[in-house]
Amino acid sequence: MFAFVSPLTALTRRPLQPPLRQSLTRTTFVGRALLAAAVIATPLTIVRGESSQAPTPSTTMTLSDLATLKDIDGNPVSPDAFAGKVVFAMNVASACGYTQSGYALFKKLTDKYSPNDFVAVAIPCNSFGFQESGSSEQIKSFALARADKLLIMERSDVNGAKQHPIVQLAKSKFPGKISWNFDGRYVFDRKGHPIARFGNSASDAEIEATIDSAL
C-alpha cells in the first residue's frame, strides 16, 4: 500500500533553500532595525519623586554667582564682598559646646589675615538642638563680641531644600550632611571655588594651613 503525501506536506518537509533563508534573514534584520529606530525616536519620560535636598548647583558656579545672599540684618550681600579673597565659612550657634572654640577660631583667623585677602563668614543655624534661637540682633551682638570682623549671614538651614546658598555651593564639591553646629567648615579659593571641608573636630592648624596655601 502506498501512502499518499500531498504536495503541500511534501513542500513543508523540504529544507529551506538558500534564497529563502537569505530572504527571511533580511526580513528579520529589517524588522529589528525598524524596532530599534522606533525605540530611539520615542521620547523618554523619567518621573522623579520629590527630594528634600536642594538642587545641586553646577560645579562651575562660584561665590560670585550667588546673587541672593543676605546678611543678619536682611541686607543684600554683594558678590563683590568675596571677589579675589579666600573665604572661610562655618555654621554657628550661640549655645553649643563648640561655640567658644568656634568663635575663637574666627577671631584668630580674622586677626591673622588681612581683610583685603580674607573673609570669615558665619552662618547662624537653629537646626541642631535649637541652640541659635535668639533674635537676629541677639545673634549679631553675640557673634561680633567674640569676632568683630565677621560677615554674619541671615539665619538659615544648612541641610535640605532650604540650606544656605554658600553651603549648597560647597556641597557641590564636598557632598554630605552637616551633622551639628560648627561642623560645616568650608574654605573657598580666591576665585570662589570650594577647596576644602572640615568638621568640628578639625584642628585650627589644619584649617590655617589650607588658607595659607590658597592665599
Q: Is the pTM for the entire model greater than 0.85? A: no
Is residue 4 in a domain? Answer: no
Supply the Cα-derived Rg of the chain in whole angstroms: 32
Is residue 142 in a domain? Answer: yes
Is residue 178 in a domain? Answer: yes
Q: What is the pLDDT of residue 32?
A: 53
- Distance from chain centroid for Cα 159: 10
Is residue 210 in a domain? Answer: yes
Pairing of strands 151-152, 194-198: unpaired
Q: Per the structure, how many domains does the chain have? A: 1
Give yes or no for a contact between 135 and 124, defined as CB atoms under 8 angstroms apart: no
CATH number at residue 94: 3.40.30.10
pLDDT per residue as tens digits for the range 51-89 = 345 555 556 899 999 999 999 999 999 999 999 999 999
Give the pLDDT band (50/70/90) at residue 4: very low
Mean pLDDT of 164-177: 97
Is residue 40 in a domain? Answer: no
Is residue 141 in a domain? Answer: yes
Domain of 104, in residue numbers:
63-214
- Active-site positions? 96
Q: What is the pLDDT of residue 110?
A: 98
Is residue 24 in a domain? Answer: no
Is residue 124 in a domain? Answer: yes
Which is more confident, 53 or 121? Answer: 121
Which region among 36-45, 66-75, 151-160 has the lowest average model confidence (pLDDT)?
36-45
Q: What is the DSSP string of 43-59?
A: PP-------SSPPPPPT
**Rounded to whole angstroms, what are the CA distances from 80 to 21, 149, 201?**
74, 17, 31
